[in-house]
Amino acid sequence: MKKIGIIITTFMRDKLFFKSVQSILDNLQDNFQIIIVDQGNSSQQKFDFITTLHSPTNVNYFRVPFDCGLSYARNYGVERAKDKKCYFCLISADSIIFNNSIKNINKLFYLFEDNIKLGKIGFKLLNRIGWEGWLSIIPNKSFKIKFINKNKFSINNKLQAKVIPCNICKNFYLATVDSLLNIPYDNKLKLMEHEDHSIRYAKQYETLWTDLISATYIDFKPTKYKQYRQRMYREFMKILLSKYNLKQWIAYEDLQYSKT
């Protein structure tokens, strides 16, 4: 059975972080390695929590420079997954709470074996639906998102789940370690990194989205967290637009599907 590195990035949301890690431990399998990448502050509560995790050999905790950004943290986590001989990375975050559907993940291996171009399989985030779509660029103008019509999902009999091609999988997906090492996140982008990565990734790899696996997204943003993020959205949106020589942000198509 191929080993999976579950990468949880966390930044200034300790209470969510504790819940997210515990939800994985509650559904842990032998082929999982939990890789925690912390770019936040230290605290006694966090120290106590991490201390209790020292006994499981498949839990790994790493501190990276404060506020180094999600791109840096995820790249760091993928490198550690490689060190742990993982074939896949499950990209997650401190705001994602797992349920027992994660136990279905081994069923997805054959999809990668059948399609050598497949790099990612994205999953369903409860409370945060509507991210699924095709991202492209209108030259010299903006990014463009065309949302997926849910009626076009195909049923995969072997999986007994809905599967659809998609090149936007933001915070919750399974990917091969090799593909993420080949096309890492841009460390210059602390935020707005998802759109950039999906554009570059789609040039070499295919992506699927399935509802076989789901988790709950918790929209919790403490005051200090928001202070850092609000400043960064403005700063890094400018970097992203400049990188692609674009004048404005997203242009929507089929907007009726964005709220589903």
Q: Where are the domains of the chain?
A: 4-257
Which range, of 37-41, 131-135, 162-166, 206-210, averages the lowest pLDDT? 131-135
Class of residue 108 by CB neighbours under 10 A (exposed 0-12, middle 13-18, buried 19+): buried
- State the amino acid at position 121 in one-letter form: I
Residue with structure tokens 């106590």?
A: 48
Contact 248, 237 (CB under 8 A): no
Q: What is the mean pLDDT of residues 91-108?
A: 94
210 and 159 in contact (C-beta within 8 Å)? yes
Q: Domain 4-257: which CATH class?
A: alpha beta
CA distance 189 to 52: 33
pLDDT value, residue 131: 58
Contact 43, 50 (CB under 8 A): no
Buried b (16+ CB within 10 A) or exposed e, 7-20: bbbbbbbbebbbbb
State yes or no: pLDDT of 65 exceeds 50. Answer: yes
Residue whose C-alpha is closest to residue 62's, from 84, 77, 47: 77
Contact assessment for residue 91 and residue 194, using Cβ atoms and an 8 Å cutoff: no
The token pair that represents 26 in the structure block: 């509650």
Indicate the average pLDDT of the chain. 88
pTM across the whole model: 0.92
Can you tell me the mean pLDDT for 235-251?
91
Range 97-122 average pLDDT? 94
Structural contact between residues 179 and 207, judged by C-beta atoms closer than 8 angstroms: no
